[in-house]
């Protein structure tokens, strides 16, 4: 007799390259083996994914952790349960007539949020070269990386932080790569699995099963001998018509250690996320210690 699968509404912004282990888990039956049926909610922005978990229209989300951290500091119920990715395989892409970061003064930079993810990393990169926000440049809310690429091509923005393999696609199309985010921020909770504390408490076993399936998928993705399965999935969710770009992007991303074993939330990675938020002025220095409490260690050991 077939056991009924537990439904789980899983939200994200673009559900692109960062979701590779999720789609591998689906393809390889890891969710089904763990008794789950995933409903994918692709919401178009990281802010919306965070909000969906907060308001209960999604059960869990994979999204940058900044929204959960801000919610927690404000007394909210969002928590980080695990790390989906801990590296930033991302380049700063600019028009061909822009020589370097200092030339971004007065320019328009595409992002999907002003308080999560790309905007924060970009502010940190530009600050190192003496540019500060909002005085020296403008953020334009263009959307996730696919929408930023369209905006770059149309000339609606001058610059955008673009993940692999879209950074390499842009370079091939005549744009310039003027900085690697990973050089500035070598370890960070790039995307976390977040949940609402009340829902998580009531659905503890469901969360355990999801994280077990994802941990298995992370091991699978991190093993190059599985690339006959992994690479076509990566290509499908990144550059469907370009196997060369997909292969380059997967090697670049995996080579820097994007997907952590056992979904571990390393203290150094979480501390970096909090530090970046502090530098960006999203939280005050005296809130740093409290911010670390957003991590719920009930599922994944910190370490």
Q: Report which of 107, 167, 169, 99 is spatially closest to residue 140, judged by C-alpha positions.
A: 107
Domain 6-87+188-294, CATH number (from 3.90.79.10, 3.30.1490.70, 3.40.190.10, 3.40.50.300): 3.40.190.10
Segments making up each domain of the chain, as ranges: 6-87+188-294, 90-184
The residue that leads in pLDDT, 103 or 14, is: 103
Residue 271 CA to residue 54 CA, distance in Å, equals 23
- Judged by DSSP in three states, 57 sits in coil
Share of the chain above pLDDT 70, in %: 98
Q: Please state which of the ranges 42-51, 54-63, 268-277 shows the lowest mean pLDDT.
A: 42-51
- CA pair distance 187, 85, nearest whole angstrom: 10
280 compared with 21, residue with greater pLDDT = 21
pLDDT of residue 117: 72
Q: What is the pTM of this model?
A: 0.85
Specify which residues 43 forms β-bridges with. none
Q: What is the pLDDT of residues 181-197, one digit of tens each?
A: 999 888 999 899 999 99
CATH superfamily of 90-184: Periplasmic binding protein-like II (3.40.190.10)
Q: Do domains 6-87+188-294 and 90-184 have the same CATH topology?
A: yes
Q: Does the pLDDT at position 240 exceed 70?
A: yes
Residue 302: pLDDT band (50, 70, 90) is low
């Amino acid at each position: 007799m077939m056991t009924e699968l537990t439904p789980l509404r899983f939200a994200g912004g673009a559900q692109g390259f960062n979701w590779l282990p999720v789609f591998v888990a689906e393809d390889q039956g890891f969710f089904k083996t763990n008794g789950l049926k995933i409903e994918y909610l692709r919401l178009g922005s990281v802010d919306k994914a965070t909000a969906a978990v907060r308001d209960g229209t999604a059960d869990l989300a994979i999204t940058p952790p900044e929204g959960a951290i801000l919610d927690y500091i404000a007394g909210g119920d969002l928590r980080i349960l695990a790390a989906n990715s801990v590296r930033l395989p991302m380049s700063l892409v600019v028009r061909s007539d822009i020589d370097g970061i200092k030339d971004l003064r007065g320019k328009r930079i595409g992002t999907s949020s002003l308080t999560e993810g790309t905007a924060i990393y970009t502010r940190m990169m530009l600050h190192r070269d003496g540019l500060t926000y909002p005085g020296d440049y403008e953020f334009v809310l263009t959307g996730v990386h696919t929408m930023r690429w369209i905006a770059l091509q149309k000339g609606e923005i001058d610059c955008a932080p673009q993940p692999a393999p879209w950074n390499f696609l842009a370079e091939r199309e005549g744009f310039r790569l003027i900085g690697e985010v990973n050089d500035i921020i070598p370890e960070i909770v790039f995307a976390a699995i977040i949940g609402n504390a009340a829902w998580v408490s009531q659905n503890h076993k469901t969360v355990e099963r999801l994280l077990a399936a994802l941990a298995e998928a992370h091991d699978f993705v991190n093993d190059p001998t599985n690339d006959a399965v992994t690479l076509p999935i990566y290509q499908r969710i990144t550059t469907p018509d370009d196997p060369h770009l997909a292969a380059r992007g997967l090697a670049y991303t995996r080579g820097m250690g994007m997907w952590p074993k056992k979904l571990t939330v390393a203290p150094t990675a979480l501390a970096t996320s909090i530090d970046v938020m502090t530098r960006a002025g999203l939280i005050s220095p005296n809130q740093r210690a409290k911010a670390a409490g957003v991590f719920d260690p009930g599922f994944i050991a910190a370490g």
